Structure 1
């Protein structure tokens, strides 16, 4: 089984590329979804979250209080504290899911993560794909998707790493400044290379 990491800034189209590959038969794992799962199922992580961010981190029925954690992490500038608790447990959790996907007969496993290049362990994935798009396209897409203001989106973009400077760290670059059909063609060609 081929393992592939996909990254890109907000509104670049990385999730759309992953959706296209899922339709072609890939197993797709989203890092944010995995992180939420780790926060709820890993007892050590759960306890650390309560110790650092308070009992409000979980509701009475044990569900993750994402609003509280997002408020603590993003509005109070404590993202590094949250990442320090969750990120060390991610490779082990992802490896387990990779094994399960392989056992189920998947030929391609895709790991989608915004901070992939920052947190990647050497040799963890066979290929890295970077999805890039011009800022105006990214703003337009996020505006349509999230109904956010342009100023809010710009703030989020400004906080992210400039991935245009990371092209030498990846195996494939998909430039997504055209139509969905163009993106589908580019994604399909790369997928064929994987298999």
Structure 2
């Protein structure tokens, strides 16, 4: 059984992610101890809240996360967790991110569309990747966010349009760090399939 560690840094809907991964057949640990990453087959970086607070809280994990990524094992960032993977964010003032995927986090522009972007929206899958195995282009997934990721095409796994086209899912150059702006754990059978694909990657 694959061992998945969900990093608990004080921000995030951890239990629903845990249940989704357990449904996919994983052994799941919610951890506040960076040492737990050493024995993990996969790591989840969840998150709901403010980018600057998240980056302050994640400091004890920084070295462990970077070592883990360098080992080639898979990491999945969800919602704020995806945003934290990026180089920096403008939320709450300019704040550096983990810089595991090059790009920036911007606020949705003022328009006739409501912010936050909340609800179901369609994915455009931009690249083949094991995370999207057997997921059809145009699948609907669930979003809740006021800020979006801007990165280049080579690091965009899937895109979405909400007034602006944005990276709904990102990947690093090595392919082992993945992010989803949407919530797989709240996206029904399609999201559960994505979590199963992640477990299979581990």
Give me the TM-score of the superposition, normalised by structure 1.
0.34
Q: Name which structure has the greater RCO, CA cutoff 8 Å, separation 6+.
A: 1
Greater share of strand: 2
The structure with the greater share of residues assigned to helix is 1
TM-score when normalising by structure 2: 0.34
Structure whose alpha-carbon radius of gyration is higher: 1
